[in-house]
A and B are shown apart, each in its own frame.
Chain A
Amino acid sequence: MQPTTLLLVLIVMAFIAYQMGFRRSLAVVSGKAKQLHSLPLYHGFFVALAAFIPAFLVFSLWQILENTVITNMVLNALPDEISSKAQGDVNLFVSQIKNLVDNGITADGISPQLQQAANYYAALQSESAAWLSRTTIALSLAGLFIAWRSVKREARTRNWVEKAVIGFLIACSSIAILTTLGIVLSVLFESVRFFGQVPFSDFMFGTEWSPQTALRADQVGSSGSFGAIPLFAGTLLISFIAMVVAIPVGLMSAIYLSEYASLKVRSMVKPLLEILAGIPTVVYGFFAALTVAPLIRGFGSAIGLDVASESALAAGLVMGIMIIPFISSLSDDVINAVPQSMRDGAYALGATKSETVRKVVFPAALPGVIGGILLGVSRAIGETMIVVMAAGLAANLTLNPLEAVTTVTVQIVTLLTGDQEFDSAKTLAAFALGLLLFVTTLILNVIALYVVRKYREEILV
């Protein structure tokens, strides 16, 4: 039976179980539902859950483990001449087996060993599928029967069903934790493998980045050089340009909107600013690469400057615009949260509006504003599409915004798109960069969120 069919069968059985539980609960009190502890529908759900959940758990576990177990069994059964080969060749052989079984074709001819292994693989697969159907359906029937038997007048099925519901809610809310854990573990594992090949200090403090050489495994120096300093410099340069654009514009528009603008202007401009945050980054990237970069280049050559066609300036400028709404909306919030009494005090002393803003409101809102800026910086560092499309690939160690630089995210994308083998330092380097990116943005976010929260607590007291 196909897994999807089996799943459908299980679902149908759950429906039947619901009906059976519902009917039986009414039957035991001869139709007088008021005598039941729980409503009939709870009895129905109770039986349905008992029929479905254990069977479904086994089903899911089986699906996850099946492939690994079968592959290992096939590997163990392989003749020595193949299993003693290098890891890469064995993997290739395994994928050939799978290809033969799934699609009936292989890239190059079918050797007898391959055919034999494929037969074994297919046999194991069908056997596993048969056992899976038997086990899950038996479990489902058993659950159905036991639960159905326990449907009685006083049976507290509502409490059980509600417990199951709460269990489901808890499981769902732990997904957030599991996601973080998954991110940390997946990048950490690969990073540890990477640092096994390339020393940590070389990576963090090396000034030469050229992972491309790692493609040719048989050459001397095939490990490439993985000094990430040029990437950090490029990332910081572009983020700096972005913040130079975003901070003044974002902050000034927030101040204007919250202190000066009429309600009408505010209700019109704010959503427009928020549109900037809703535009997909790939659109910004396209715009930066095909419109802004040529403009800057043309302007540069008009005044006699030599601008690279993929300059840091173009990417940074457009990224800055993307970040404006993040800074303006958070600053707007915190500026609005500053108590009116502080402004009134300043006016009473004769301060003008702008003096009040600069000397009273802004200092009071500063922690929150800083939190917003930190969130903006973390956005800028993690932003991918704009830099992939508008910044370069060459790892230049420079502070000149008119030259092409590359960033951490650009390198992650270039290292991981296209064909890849999963053991080379080249692909693992992407995970090391990812780890660094995750940790950096995490620290920035934690500080930012902490500052904003602290600020809210202080100002609202």
Chain B
Amino acid sequence: MTRKAISQRLRTIDIVNASMRRRNAAEKRFQIYGKLAIAAAMLFLIFMFGNIIYKGHTAFVQAFVALDISFDAQVLGLGDRRDKKSLASADYAALVKAALRQQFPDVTKRKAKRKLYKLVSSGASYQLADMVKNNPDLIGTQARVWVPADDEIDMLLKGYIDRKLPESERRLSDQQISWVETLEAKELIETRFNFNFFTHGDSRDAELAGILAALSGSFLTLLVTLTLAFPIAVATAIYLEEFAPKNKWTDIIEVNINNLAAVPSIVFGLLGLALFINWFQFPRSAPLVGGLVLTLMTLPTIIISSRAALKTVPNAIRQAALGIGASKVQMIRHHVLPLALPGMLTGTIIGMAQALGETAPLLMIGMVAFIVDVPTSIVDPSTVLPVQIFLWADSPERAFVEKTSGAIMVLLAFLIAMNAMAVAVRKKLERRW
């Protein structure tokens, strides 16, 4: 080997060595990009969850004011009547006002009085009405009743309103704040667990608004979805996996299902509107229609996972069943289906979770209504939890931001529970071959 050739070879290595620093730096950079990407996604996740919990955790408590109510028949405008009708139409607001006046006897001006009455929620008189209706003997007695405070007072107690701001820049006057401070000093106002949030329907007053109507709407809608989607999807999966001949028709169905899984959900809403509401004349805003639309939407998800579950069942099982004389339907019913069921259930739960969080198609079929009453059947007008979140998110009051975040927390809790259930089902029942 000549000297020149050797120096040439050395030079090649030199070149490689010289470039190694740059290439290793590039390698490091590349790895950092990857870590950054994951960190960005994780940070966002933490930021969003933290933000929602920070905003929403106070939705589960609520300011209540103690009122010493004297159930005076005169104030109620009842006289001697005690029949149901007059009890229902009695002036319970007057009781609340009387109790407030008694608490603050030095408030005499009309304008100041009106401000005073705004300390408690308009729901207070309904609460008293319910009490009296359940127990008419209360009339003539005295009792201390905790009633919900107005949402502005609630916000003040939770610290969302800065007491040091100049009066013109906050929604509560100095006088109102001083009343609240008096009540605080006497321990007649406090924040308690907000049962209303779980036992009431929607309301224009933030302090009375709850998610029960939306929750039962969601439940009914999911019930319709589950009863329709699960059998149909399982039947489709069985047909496609076990019976369907390999031909154009099954090809079309297959491509179709994959495509349907990627069609925007709002298009399903358009279908529901045109087909179920305009053509079949089903009632608007009903869980029935919502359930039908969500069924069509979740079918592809459940079909795809059910087929995957059927595919994992080993062929030996099928052949063994056929070998001892079972018909094909018996083979599937007795052997394949029980083995594939856990996978199918997992897919179904995930599909249901998807349906629970869906909003857009339900807007199309009129489930955006303002629902106070809790729906009890699948044809009652109702709304669902995500739509309730959407509606509340539109409200300008500060108190509704808190309610929205609270409702989101409830929704996310349900979703997490469902996904955990799916994982549990898979872990517990899945069989590895």
A-to-B contact residues, CB < 8 Å: 64, 67, 158, 162, 165-166, 168-170, 172-177, 179-180, 182-183, 186-187, 189-190, 248-253, 255-257, 260, 269, 272-273, 275-276, 278-283, 285-287, 289-291, 321, 324, 350, 352-355, 357-358, 375, 378-379, 381-385, 388-389, 409, 412-413, 416-417, 422, 430-431, 434, 437-438, 441-442, 445-446, 448-449
Contact = CB atoms under 8 A, between A and B. Distances in A.
B393 A286 contact: yes
A283 B52 contact: yes
A65 B31 CA distance: 65
Contacts of A255: 34
B260 A173 contact: no
A249 B389 contact: no
Interface string B238-270: 111001100000001101111110111111101
A105 to B, nearest CB: 17
A187 B267 contact: yes
Given A249-B40, A434-B266, A287 B31 contact: no
Contact of A409 (B273, B358, B360, B366): B360
A273 B44 CA distance: 11
B336 interface: no
Interface stretch (B19-27, B76-84, B155-163, B168-176): B19-27
B48 interface: yes
A176 B236 contact: yes
A353 B30 CA distance: 9
A413 B360 contact: yes
Interface of A is mostly: helix
Given A285-B393, A287-B48, A180 B259 contact: yes
22 contacts: A172-B232, A173-B235, A173-B239, A173-B240, A179-B271, A186-B274, A253-B41, A257-B34, A269-B42, A272-B42, A272-B45, A279-B415, A280-B356, A280-B357, A285-B390, A321-B41, A355-B27, A382-B263, A382-B264, A413-B364, A416-B273, A431-B274
B357 A281 contact: yes
A384 B266 contact: yes
A294 to B, nearest CB: 12
A353 B23 CA distance: 10
B299 interface: yes
Given A282-B390, A389-B390, A179 B260 contact: yes
A158 B329 CA distance: 10
Nearest to B329: A162
Contacts of B30: 353-354, 357-358
B300 interface: yes
B397 to A, nearest CB: 13
Interface in B409-433: 411-412, 415, 419
Contacts of A180: 256, 259-260
Contact of A434 (B37, B270, B404): B270
A187 B270 contact: yes
B36 interface: yes
Contacts of A168: 235
B271 A183 contact: yes
B256 A176 contact: yes
A179 B299 contact: yes
A26 to B, nearest CB: 20
B243 A169 contact: yes
Nearest to A412: B266
A442 B255 CA distance: 11
Interface string B332-373: 000000000000000000000110111110011010100000
B360 A385 contact: yes
Given A165-B329, A173-B240, A382 B266 contact: yes
Task: Name the residue among A187, A286, A431, A442 with the largest chain B CB count within 10 angstroms.
Answer: A286
Nearest to A98: B281
B404 A256 contact: no
A378 B401 CA distance: 31
A269 B38 contact: yes
A157 to B, nearest CB: 12
A50 to B, nearest CB: 18
Give the bracket for the number of chain B residues in contact with chain A. Answer: 35 or more
Contact of B239 (A172, A290, A384): A172
Given A172-B232, A173-B239, A412-B364, 16 more contacts: A162-B329, A166-B239, A166-B329, A172-B236, A176-B253, A183-B263, A183-B271, A253-B34, A272-B45, A283-B389, A286-B408, A321-B41, A354-B30, A409-B360, A442-B259, A445-B263
Q: Which 5 A-B pairs have the closest CB atoms?
A: A382-B264, A256-B34, A280-B357, A186-B274, A252-B37
Nearest to A172: B235
A354 B31 contact: yes
Contacts of B357: 278-283
Contact of A281 (B262, B268, B359, B412): B359
B275 A446 contact: no
B236 A257 contact: no
A434 B393 CA distance: 25
Contact of A280 (B27, B263, B358): B358
A434 B408 CA distance: 29
A448 B327 CA distance: 40
A282 B389 contact: yes
A173 B408 CA distance: 36
A375 B238 CA distance: 27
Contacts of B42: 269, 272
Contacts of B27: 352-355
A162 to B, nearest CB: 4
B291 interface: no
Contacts of A449: 255, 258-259, 262
A256 B31 contact: yes
B296 interface: yes
Interface string B384-407: 001101100100000001001100
B45 to A, nearest CB: 6
A64 B276 CA distance: 11
A166 B366 CA distance: 37
B124 interface: no
A166 B243 contact: yes
Contacts of A350: 16
